[in-house]
Amino acid sequence: MIDLLMIMFSCLSMYFVRYGLIGLTPDVKTDGLTICLILILFNTITFISFRTFSGILRFSSFPDLLRIVYALGLGYALTFMVVLVLRRLDPEFNLSNVTFIAIFMLNIFLMTFSRILVKEVYEEITGSTVKPVNVFIYGTKQAGVSVAKALKGSNEFNYRVLGFISDENHMIGKNLMGVTIHANNQQLFRTLVSKDVKTIIVSPQKMEEIKNSNLLANFVDNNIALLTTVPINEWNGTLTSREQLKDVQIEDLLPRDPIHINMREIASNIEGRRVLVTGAAGSIGSEIVRQVASFNPYSIILIDQAETPLHDMRLELQEKWRELRTEIVVADISNKSRMEKIFSETKPQYIFHAAAYKHVPMMEDNVSESIQTNILGAKFVADLAVKYNADKFVMISTDKAVNPSNVMGCSKRICEIYVQALAKHIEKSGQTSTQFITTRFGNVLGSNGSVIPLFREQIKHGGPVTVTHPEIIRYFMTIPEACQLVLEAGSMGKNGEIYIFDM
């Protein structure tokens, strides 16, 4: 209704400006009212067609304004066709082209300006209670500009862009989207302090530069938080959920190239086979399941005693690999009779044993559980692999099994010794063709039991970051990298060998 009143106001006011009080003869008034009615008729139709009324005024965005322009343009175009007919019928018809264009332009101005005004007033009022977060954007190319535009048009985020950061000298000092482009130098941090900016949004392609320079240290030293968006090829140019704008993860800053493995040989070993994964709901086990699923196995048997994450894996597999045969089994690997039943029914050919308790301090206080699950559970699964003539048994171990100084490390070392002894025994006896392979790795980013969550919390609270010794060096890899190496070890490994990942 308000939009239609604006059409009437635009039409009548332009007639008044054009003819004045003296020039508004009865004929002119009649022609003016005729045009008003025709405009209202056609624009009512176009407004309904383009659903210009469906937007919420205080949340109006550029697409909403564009929809209004399209609707008005079509409505006025149809009206102008009628005007041409009226001029043919009545050469004295009182409406010049200039007046008609003026009506159109005033109408567009009123309808767009009113929405912008309502939005600005609303943001000003609500902004008094919710203080926006001041941010700079690192990157002035397409990705950085797109992020800035998306933030300005987003109702999900309360960020205010106060500047850009660029490494290109010819861009320094220029204005972009109404804010200044700053150089990446020590003056930048003084500017950030003066503008109360404690967050920088890094465009995806800039992440590589941050990884390979001392920029990260400078940001950390100055207590600057880093955010990034999803990769530009996965982004539609809008920010509609908080998942699209995320904290920079430690994985994103790994100072080396990702590990890439030729997966064809691995695929040929797994394709068409029955694969069993213990600890399938854990961080490592679940990633092994995902990678194995992509190699078209005959079936995957997932075993874990954690009900909820196992259910989540079930839903994920149903969504991504609907044709894959899966068996989801809630079971404790230390329950010998239960595991016997599972093996007798499924007869797995490939076994990835990832089930274990991993948290060192917890196992110091729960020694019996560490023995029950880590040692006896592994023994039961390994023995069943022999009994049911599995092709390969791949056990996930840890670097803490080397000269172990804690219960968890001792339990995993005992598992390694047992598996190696079992491999030698069956090799001598010729009892079965099952091959036993063990893989060891250290800190896997994001895995359960890793030191990374502790480091992250220490950094979040201002430090210090605690390590065992001042000269210690920690090496890391991501979960997908670790699992690829597990699969490769399972594919190329020889019976009884222990593989240590070069991290």
- Using CA atoms in the order 359, 361, 367, 371, what is the torsion angle rounded to 10 degrees? 20
Q: Tell which of 127, 144, 162 closes a domain.
A: 127
Mean pLDDT per 10-residue run, the chain (503 residues)?
83 78 69 85 88 72 82 91 86 81 89 83 65 84 79 72 88 88 86 88 72 66 76 54 59 58 80 95 91 93 95 94 93 95 95 91 92 95 94 90 91 94 87 87 62 61 60 65 80 80 59
Angle in degrees, CA 119, 120, 124, rounded to 5: 120
Rounded Cα distance, 317 and 324, in Å: 8
Domain total in the chain: 3
Q: Rg for the chain (alpha carbons), in Å?
A: 34
Within a domain: 109 = yes
Q: Which domain holds residue 149?
A: 133-248
Shared-domain flag, residues 208 and 236: yes
Shared-domain flag, residues 442 and 386: yes
Rounded Cα distance, 446 and 466, in Å: 18
Shared-domain flag, residues 12 and 119: yes
Within a domain: 256 = no
Shared-domain flag, residues 376 and 455: yes
Q: Which residues contact 155 (CB under 8 A, 6 or more apart)?
A: 59
pLDDT score at 310: 95
Among candidate residues 482, 83, 14, 15, the one with its CA nearest the CA of residue 283: 482
Shared-domain flag, residues 236 and 270: no
Rounded Cα distance, 163 and 161, in Å: 6
Shared-domain flag, residues 208 and 320: no
Q: Which helix (H) or strand (E) holds 438?
A: strand 435-440
Within a domain: 259 = no
Per the CB < 8 A criterion, the answer to whether 330 and 310 are in contact is yes
Q: Which residues, in sequence order, are bridge partners of residue 199?
A: 135, 225
Residue 98 phi/psi, 5-degree rounding, is: -60, -45
Within a domain: 257 = no
Per the CB < 8 A criterion, the answer to whether 51 and 67 are in contact is yes
Within a domain: 100 = yes
Shared-domain flag, residues 203 and 63: no
* Tokens read off for 420: 């190696």
Residue 288 phi/psi, 5-degree rounding, is: -60, -40
Query: CATH number, domain at 200?
Result: 3.40.50.720
Residue 240 phi/psi, 5-degree rounding, is: -110, -10
Shared-domain flag, residues 17 and 110: yes
* Tokens read off for 211: 């990884």
Within a domain: 72 = yes
Within a domain: 59 = yes
User: Taken in order 330, 333, 337, 340, is the CA torsion positive or negative?
Assistant: positive
Q: Which residues contact 413 (CB under 8 A, 6 or more apart)?
A: 401, 402, 404
Rounded Cα distance, 189 and 202, in Å: 16
Q: Tell which of 127, 161, 188 closes a domain.
A: 127
Within a domain: 384 = yes
Per the CB < 8 A criterion, the answer to whether 28 and 94 are in contact is yes
DSSP string, 220-286: HHTT-EEEEESPGGG--S---SGGGEEEPPGGGG-SSPPP----HHHHHHHTT-EEEEETTTSHHHH
Shared-domain flag, residues 355 and 238: no
Shared-domain flag, residues 328 and 463: yes
Amino acid at 162: L
The helix/strand count (H/E) of the chain reads as: 18, 16
Q: Tell which of 127, 151, 167 closes a domain.
A: 127
**What are the strands of the beta sheet with 325-330, ordered from one edge?**
325-330, 299-304, 274-278, 350-353, 392-396, 435-440, 498-500
Shared-domain flag, residues 353 and 440: yes
Shared-domain flag, residues 311 and 413: yes
